[in-house]
């Protein structure tokens, strides 16, 4: 006897701390829950996997009037994409930029990211030099930050991300900028 939707939703909430609404949405369809569980086996990031499945993938499927069974994107490849985001190999922005291409060709996201050199920049020395350049070029923003305006940090982070073509690790950028701004 297959697991009933209510039991499955409760399991998703208890085991993976999914919000109730998302857990119920996934559990309502056997096909959707099987796809989710297969993708999550690879990503090991249940919330992020559920979000990508229910937002990005379902939007593609709905646009083509397809169901999850007819998805061009395998659960394995969705799981790999989420894992790349989760482990910091790529940013969510890079993933979104690649998603329609990955979906259309059921491409292996790991291979595509490697082939295109899209891994997040994690070289601390290079990133610190870029952050220093941005700090030096923005004395007014730096002064505003140092006088207590935390919101201006976003402007500096944005400029670093622009300088790196979105390939910098945003968490690392924030840490480096805070260190430089003392």
For 76-101, write each residue's pLDDT tens digit: 999 999 999 998 888 888 899 999 99
Pair (96, 139) in one structural domain: no
The last residue of a domain, from among 97, 116, 135: 116
Mean pLDDT of 1-11: 94
Pair (139, 165) in one structural domain: yes
Share of the chain above pLDDT 90, in %: 81
Pair (112, 128) in one structural domain: no
Pair (11, 78) in one structural domain: yes
Q: What is the pLDDT of residues 156-180, one digit of tens each?
A: 999 998 998 878 888 889 999 999 9
pLDDT confidence band for 146 (50 / 70 / 90):
very high
pLDDT confidence band for 66 (50 / 70 / 90):
very high
Please report the pLDDT score of residue 171 as a whole number. Answer: 82
Pair (31, 105) in one structural domain: yes
The last residue of a domain, from among 68, 93, 116: 116
The last residue of a domain, from among 95, 116, 137: 116
Number of folded domains that form the chain = 2
Answer yes or no: is pLDDT of 124 > 80.
yes
Query: Domain of 27?
Result: 5-116
Q: What is the pLDDT of residues 36-59, one digit of tens each?
A: 999 999 999 999 999 999 999 999
Answer yes or no: is pLDDT of 9 > 90.
yes
Pair (105, 147) in one structural domain: no
Answer yes or no: is pLDDT of 68 > 90.
yes
Hey, which residues does 168 pair with through a beta bridge?
A: 121
Residue 98, token pair as written in the block: 């690649």
Q: What is the pTM of this model?
A: 0.76
Mean pLDDT, the chain, rounded, equals: 94
Pair (129, 93) in one structural domain: no
Pair (10, 65) in one structural domain: yes
pLDDT confidence band for 123 (50 / 70 / 90):
confident
């Amino acid at each position: 006897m297959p697991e009933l939707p209510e039991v499955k939703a409760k399991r998703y909430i208890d085991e993976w701390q999914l919000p109730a609404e998302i857990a119920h949405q996934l559990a309502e369809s056997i096909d959707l829950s099987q796809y989710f569980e297969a993708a999550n086996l690879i990503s090991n990031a249940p919330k992020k996997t559920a979000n990508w499945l229910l937002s990005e993938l379902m939007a593609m499927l709905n646009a083509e009037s397809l169901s999850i069974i007819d998805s061009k994107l395998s659960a394995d490849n969705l799981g790999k994409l989420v894992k790349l985001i989760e482990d910091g190999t790529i940013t969510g922005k890079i993933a979104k930029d690649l998603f329609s291409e990955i979906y259309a060709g059921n491409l292996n996201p790991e291979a595509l990211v490697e082939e295109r050199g899209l891994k997040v920049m994690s070289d601390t020395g290079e990133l610190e030099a870029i952050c220093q350049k941005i700090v030096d070029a923005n004395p007014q923003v730096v002064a505003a930050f140092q006088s207590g305006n935390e919101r201006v940090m976003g402007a500096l982070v944005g400029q670093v991300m622009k300088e790196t073509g979105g390939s910098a690790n945003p968490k690392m950028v924030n840490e480096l900028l805070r260190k430089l701004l003392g």
